[in-house]
Amino acid sequence: MCGIVGYIGTQAATEILLAGLEKLEYRGYDSAGIATVWEGEVNCVRAKGKLHNLRSKLEQLENPAQIGIGHTRWATHGKPEEYNAHPHLDTAMRVAVVQNGIIENYRELREELKQKGHEFRSETDTEVIPHLIAEFLKNLPASSSSSPFLDAVRQAVNYLKGAFAIAVICADYPDELIVVRQQAPLVIGFGQGEFFCASDTPAIVAYTRAVLPLENGEIARLTPLGVEIYNFAGDRLKKQPRMLNLSPTMVEKQGFKHFMLKEIYEQPGVVRASLEAYFTNIEESSESPINLGLPREFYADLAQIQIVACGTSWHAALVGKYLLEQLAGISTQVHYASEYRYAPSPLTPNTLIIGVTQSGETADTLAALAMEKERRQGQEPQYQARLLGITNRPESSLGLMVPHIINTLAGIEIGVAATKTFIAQLMAFYALALDLAAHRQTVPLEKLVEIINGLRQIPKEIEATLEAQESLTEHLAHDFAETKDFIFLGRGINFPIALEGALKLKEISYIHAEGYPAGEMKHGPIALLDAKVPVVAIAIPGSVYEKVISNAQEAKARDSRLIGVTPVNDGEAAEIFNDLLPVSSVDELLSPILTVVPLQLLAYHIAARRGLDVDQPRNLAKSVTVE
Ligand code: F6R
């Protein structure tokens, strides 16, 4: 979490840095700051709270500096106060640093540096970095290299332990911006006589689409003349930028009140794009009508699948488990990445390991995958890691870590609460499960064709749902804006959707919500129910329909107001539920792509009615790069 930006070139840096930080605010937003070098001094301005506080402070200052760094913070070490906001400076205030990540050995370094006379002004781990760089700058022999600043930063980062990305400027080297990547994302942008760096591409796409993501253990020196890349040992590396497929308008709200609402409305397009990319024309296909670009040996003798993920991606993985087991007949386990890393399952042979992360940067998921990769190294061939990533950001750290990726096709998502990327992950799991089913011949071709044809109907069903439900959910939001607790129920393939509906509501509206498998209610949670606790039940005709309806009746008998996510023309449902969020009658197997939509809208409208910051809910960040 935290977002960093940097600029060096011919324009005034402040506005470019602020505009970049605006696009990175989704990564953290409890304080922000920028530092520039002008007339031989570092100028540093920081403010607690959202970016507009920093902007107002900067408006009063004239600053034509053409080099600078900026930061938007999600607090890890030290409260969200101005004195903990980045950039951080050394004692003499000559070196300024912004960091995304965690310096694990900061305590020892801080003690050592204090003993050498360095004065610390914050509670952060980051502050050791400028002091350490200043220390190396002081001790470098004169004329030791063509860039003493680069050398000092390189020496300093060799002392740091942890996962971090940093950008550094120094009053004594006004034409150099040094950036470092070590297990936290950092991309460099190439303009005409100007260069950028940022934690993520939306921060620089308005200026350039020529980008180079740094790899772990790389340092770049940006000057007005160009970019040089080195490894931590100081060897120069040859690298070329590539062109980004992202336009500035893709990161605008385009008339919607919030990014989240825009992204909910983009979902039919996401499903269409996924259908086009993953599914070939059935007549043309020989073995399988699905094309994920995965090598055949990947599937050979496959006995088991282990999936690691967090949050909404974990919910998508639970739907994936249902599909992989029911369609392809492969035993599948889904783990919270943060748990799996420290308590993995015993090693099994012929196992596919899947990491699901929309950002491709979630530290827990990356760490779980790295652990799995490492423990399988040097084992018998059948135990070797077969690693697959499902991500919306193939250029991310995940993309660098795993050999095969299913690229989800949501386009960039700005709202902190995941919506369209969830639907895109579901589409990836449908494609993977159907492809495996085709290869393992666990589903007859006619049935596969029927499922794919059903998927092709989904975009227009989502459109119809959006049209019908906008005002219904707004109306319900009016009734529930002050509600304290919510229960979401689902069974089978819709149990993960109950979890997702509850997560969406809690994270953006701060209302306590729980998702349960409907049949589990009677084993304890039913004690929570009374007239003040509404229950949302997902009831789709199919294998568990009657069961869900009975579970809903049990809730109604305890006076709960019942909201049904159920087909439009279902007479029985109309009688039981107090309110309906009707969806079209689709095959139960495909229903999660549809049933999640009203739950997203309900959460959105409740949060909007409560006047909350829907796109940037408190305490959260879009990209969780700390463990
Ligand atoms: C919820 C949400 C989070 C993320 C989780 C994992 O709306 O966005 O729960 O799903 O932090 O993020 P990724 O998918 O980037 O690994």
Single-letter amino acid, residue 339 = E
Tokens standing for 625? 């790069």
CA distance 177 to 187: 14
To the query of whether residue 622 is one of the catalytic residues in this protein, the response is: yes
* 419 pocket-lining for ligand 1 (C-beta < 6 Å): no
Statement: 460-614 belongs to CATH 3.90.180.10: no
Contacts 24+ apart (CB under 8 A), 296-303: 296/439, 298/352, 298/386, 298/388, 298/404, 299/436, 299/439, 299/440, 300/350, 301/350, 301/382, 302/330, 302/350, 302/351, 302/352, 302/436, 302/440, 303/330, 303/331, 303/348, 303/349, 303/350, 303/351
pLDDT band at 283 (very low <50, low <70, confident <90, very high): low
pTM: 0.85
145 band by pLDDT with thresholds 50, 70 and 90: confident
**Which phi and psi (to 5°) does residue 218 adopt?**
-115, 145
Q: What is the pLDDT of residue 144?
A: 62
Q: Decide if 580 contacts 573 (C-beta within 8 A).
A: yes
Into which CATH architecture does domain 253-443 fall?
A: 3-Layer(aba) Sandwich (3.40)
Count CB neighbours of 497 within 10 A.
Answer: 28
pLDDT score recorded for residue 512: 97
Pocket test of ligand 1: the residue of 312, 414, 423 to mutate, having most ligand atoms within 8 Å of its CB, is: 312
What is the whole-number distance in angstroms between the Cα of residue 623 and the centre of ligand 1? 7
- In the chain, pLDDT over 70 holds for what percent of residues? 98
φ and ψ of 213, to 5 deg: -75, 130
| CB distance 312 to ligand 1 below 6 Å | yes
Q: Residue 291: enclosing H or E segment and its boundaries?
A: none
Determine the 3-state secondary structure of 1 from DSSP. Answer: coil
Ligand 1 probe mutation, 258, 315, 359, 398, most atoms within 8 A of CB: 359
Q: Is 600 in the pocket of ligand 1 (CB under 6 A)?
A: no
- For residue 142, what pLDDT is reported? 63
Going by pLDDT thresholds of 50, 70 and 90, the confidence category of residue 27 is confident
pLDDT tens profile 51-85 = 999 999 998 888 999 999 999 998 888 888 999 99
**pLDDT classification of 548: cutoffs 50, 70, 90:** very high
Q: What percent of the chain has pLDDT over 90?
A: 80
Closest C-alpha residue for ligand 1 atom 7:
417
* 607: nearest Cα among 495, 435, 496, 474: 474
Ligand 1 centroid, distance to 537 Cα (angstroms): 24
The pLDDT, as a whole number, for residue 240 is 92
DSSP 356-393: E-SSS--HHHHHHHHHHHHHHTTS-GGGS-EEEEEES-
CB 313 less than 6 A from any atom of ligand 1: yes
Query: Does the CB atom of residue 72 touch ligand 1 within 6 A?
Result: no
The CATH 3.60.20.10 portion of the chain extends over 3-251
Query: Is pLDDT above 80 for 284?
Result: no
- For the chain, the average pLDDT equals 93
| DSSP one-letter string for 262-279 | HHHHTHHHHHHHHHHHHB
The segment(s) of the chain belonging to CATH 3.40.50.10490 are 253-443, 460-614
Q: Is the distance from CB of 88 to CB of 127 less than 8 angstroms?
A: yes
pLDDT at 216 over 70: yes
| Eight-state DSSP code of residue 83 | G
Task: Place 531 in a pLDDT band, splitting at 50, 70 and 90.
Answer: very high
Nearest CA to ligand 1 atom 4: 311
Judge if the beta carbon of residue 391 lies within 6 A of ligand 1: no
Can you point out the beta strands (E) in 392-481?
404-407
Note the pLDDT of residue 51: 92
List, for residues 389-444, the tens digit of each pLDDT value. Answer: 999 998 888 998 999 999 999 998 999 999 999 999 999 999 999 999 999 999 99
pLDDT at 4 over 80: yes
Q: What separation in angstroms does the CA of 147 have from each of 9, 177, 409?
A: 18, 11, 42
Nearest-angstrom CA–CA distance, 149 and 165: 17
| Alpha carbons 115 and 133: distance in angstroms, whole number | 16
357 lines ligand 1 (CB under 6 A): yes
In the CATH scheme, what is the code of domain 3-251? Answer: 3.60.20.10
* Sequence-ordered alpha helix ranges (H) in 127-266: 128-139, 148-157, 259-265
In the structure encoding, which two tokens stand for residue 451, read together? 């499922």
The confidence score (pLDDT) of residue 623 equals 74
pLDDT value at residue 143:
60
Region 223-240: mean pLDDT is 95
Mean pLDDT of 508-515: 96
Report how far apart, in Å, the C-alpha atoms of 13 and of each of 45, 129, 251, 327, 572 are.
Answer: 13, 23, 21, 55, 63
CA of 422 from ligand 1 middle (Å) equals 9
Strands 88-89 and 3-8: what pairing?
unpaired
Rounded CA-CA distance 412/414 in Å is 7
Q: What is the pLDDT of residues 297-329, one digit of tens each?
A: 888 899 999 999 999 999 999 999 999 999 999
- Report pLDDT digits (tens) over 493-502: 999 999 999 9
Number of H helices and E strands in the chain, helices first, is: 17, 25
Q: Is 522 an active-site residue?
A: no
Give dist(CA 353, CA 373) in Å, integer: 9
C-alpha 132/C-alpha 562 separation (Å) is 60
Is the preceding omega at residue 224 within 30 degrees of 0, hence cis?
Answer: no
**Residue (of 502, 591, 525) closest to 311 by Cα position:** 502
